[in-house]
Amino acid sequence: MMKTNISESLFERAVNVIPGGVNSPVRAFNSVGGKPRFINKAKGAYIYDEDGNKYIDYIGSWGPMIIGHNDDRVIEAVKKQMENGLSYGAATKLEVEMAELITEIVPCVEMIRMVNSGTEAVMSAIRLARGFTGRDKIVKFEGCYHGHADALLVKAGSGVMTEGVPGSRGVPAGCVNDTLTAVYNDLNSVEALFNEYKNKIACIIVEPVAANMGVVVPNKGFLQGLRKLCDENNALLIFDEVITGFRLKLDGASGYFNITPDIVTYGKIIGGGMPVGAYGGKKEIMKMVSPVGEVYQAGTLSGNPIAMRAGITQLSILKENPDIYDKINSLGIKLRNGIKNIIDKYNIACTVNGIGSLSCLYFSEIPVDNYCNAGKSDTEAFGKYFNYMLNNGNYLGPSQFEAMFISAAHTKEQIEKTISDCENYFK
Ligand SMILES: *Cc1c(COP(=O)(O)O)cnc(C)c1O
327 contacts: CB under 8 Å, gap ≥ 6: 408
Cis before 291? omega within 30:
yes
Q: For a substitution probing ligand 1, which of 24, 124, 140, 242 has the most ligand atoms within 8 Å of its CB?
A: 242
CA atoms of 376 and 371, how far apart (whole Å): 9
Cβ pair 337, 331 in contact under 8 A: no
pLDDT digits (tens, 9 = 90+) for 366-404: 999 999 999 999 999 999 999 999 999 999 999 999 999
Cβ pair 136, 203 in contact under 8 A: no
CA of 360 to the centre of ligand 1 (A): 18
Element at 137 (helix H, strand E):
strand 137-141
CA atoms of 326 and 344, how far apart (whole Å): 27
CA of 194 to the centre of ligand 1 (A): 26
42 contacts: CB under 8 Å, gap ≥ 6: 48, 57, 65, 69, 70
- How much is the average pLDDT of 248-271? 98
pLDDT in the model for residue 225: 98
pLDDT in the model for residue 164: 46
pLDDT in the model for residue 157: 72
CA of 125 to the centre of ligand 1 (A): 13
Average pLDDT, the chain: 96
pLDDT digits (tens, 9 = 90+) for 403-421: 999 999 999 999 999 999 9
Where does the pLDDT of residue 163 fall: very low under 50, low under 70, confident under 90, or very high at 90 and above? low
Centre a 10 Å sphere on the Cβ of residue 422 and count the other Cβ atoms it contains: 23
- How much is the average pLDDT of 207-220? 98
pLDDT in the model for residue 233: 98
Lowest mean pLDDT among 165-174, 251-260, 269-278, 283-292: 165-174
pTM of the predicted structure, to 2 decimals = 0.97
pLDDT at 165 over 90: no
Active site residues: 145, 240, 268
Q: For a substitution probing ligand 1, which of 140, 154, 212 has the most ligand atoms within 8 Å of its CB?
A: 212
For the chain, the C-alpha Rg in angstroms (whole number) is 21
- How much is the average pLDDT of 85-93? 98
